[in-house]
Amino acid sequence: MKSLKNGKNISKAEIANISERGFWPLLAGKEYFLPFDKYPWFKDAKISSIINVKLFHNRHLYWPDLDVDLTIEILNNPERYPLTYN
């Protein structure tokens, strides 16, 4: 017996805005703010690299040009996941 093909994933992430202080990813109707001082991987990135974001499994954001991964859990509960940058 063959399984049916999975349906097309219509959920996607997008970047709603970028400023000199950070940027706002929009996901499933919820907007998050990622300040550059707390997410320094994005500070000197090209705009094209920031807006090139992929959503995996409706809970994992990935920026392939920057090799940065963030889960929605981290964005919803940043106090539980202190980020470090070396």
Half-sphere exposure for 23 (CA within 13 Å, toward CB): 24
Single out the residue of 2, 4, 74, 1 nearest to residue 34, CA to CA. 74
DSSP state of 4: P
pTM above 0.85, yes or no: no
Task: Give the mean pLDDT of 4-8.
Answer: 52
Structural domain boundaries of the chain? 13-80
Indicate the pLDDT class of residue 83, thresholds 50, 70 and 90.
low
- Which CATH architecture best describes the domain 13-80? 2-Layer Sandwich (3.30)
DSSP string, 63-74: ETTTTEEEEHHH
- Strands of 1-86, DSSP E: 13-18, 22-27, 30-31, 34-35, 54-56, 60-63, 68-71
Q: pLDDT tens digit string along 50-70?
A: 999 999 988 899 999 999 999
* pLDDT tens digits, 21-51: 999 999 888 999 999 999 999 999 999 999 9
